[in-house]
Structure 1
Amino acid sequence: MTRVERIRAALEVAFAPQLLEVEDDSHRHAGHAGARDGRGHFNVLIVSEAFAGMPPLARHRAVYAALGTMMETDIHALSIRAEAPAA
């Protein structure tokens, strides 16, 4: 399973999102200090009812928690856009 697939699977289980996009942006950071250890750079757009009523910081923390140890072993940088569905 690729990193993108593992990220996607973890977020689907945790949030049952209506929309989930995961982009591996690692190729744009080749030679960057954070890329030397093999961890990647990713962009996530996730829309889920689970985020309703949560402030942005809490949404980001929830995503980090759902990804667990991947934040230490696979992910160097993560850009997160976490939203609740429009009412």
Structure 2
Amino acid sequence: MTIKNCIQQKLENAFDLSHIEVINESHKHNVPPGSESHFKLVLVSNGFAGKLPVKRHQLVYRLLADELNSSVHALALHTYTEQEWQALQNQVPASPDCMGGNGH
């Protein structure tokens, strides 16, 4: 199973999500082709209601601790309630290009 699929499965099993995107952004970084080290996650759940963004992120970090301690170098987290997601018109900010690494 790919790391992306493993992350998605864990998130779907742990949260009552109405929308999920697991985007491998490794190609934007100075890593070998086919790497699975940098991910952008878009998670929409009313289970996030009443929780500050830092608490939402801590839930995800705990869930993905094994991946973060091994193969995953970075996560861009976008966690929303249904109402927040609708207010954003189902759009998330674009991730910036990598500015680090040996190639820059």
- Shared fold, TM over 0.5: yes
Larger radius of gyration: 2
Aligned 1:7-86 pairs, distance under 5 A: 7-31=7-31, 40-86=37-83
**1:28-80 residue CA offsets vs partner (Å, 9 max, x unmatched):** 1124xxx7xx6600000000122111000000001111112111112101000
RMSD: 1.8
Equivalent residue of 1:27, what SS?
helix
Higher strand share: 1
- TM-score, with structure 2 as normaliser: 0.72
Q: Tell me how far apart the structure 1 counterparts of residues 4 and 55 of structure 2 sit (CA, whole Å).
A: 23
Determine if contact 1:39/1:73 at 8 Å carries over to the other structure: no
CA distance in 2, matches of 1:76, 1:39: 9
**8 Å Cα contact 1:41/1:77 also seen in 2:** yes
* SS of corresponding position for 1:86: helix
Measured after TM superposition, the shift of residue 84 of structure 1 is 1.1
Gaps of 5+ in 1: none
Secondary structure at the aligned position of 2:63 is classed as helix
Indicate the structure with greater helix content: 1
The ranges of structure 1 where at least 4 consecutive aligned residues each deviate by more than 4 angstroms after the TM superposition are none
Of 4-13 and 67-76, the range deviating more from structure 2: 67-76
SS at match of 1:17: coil
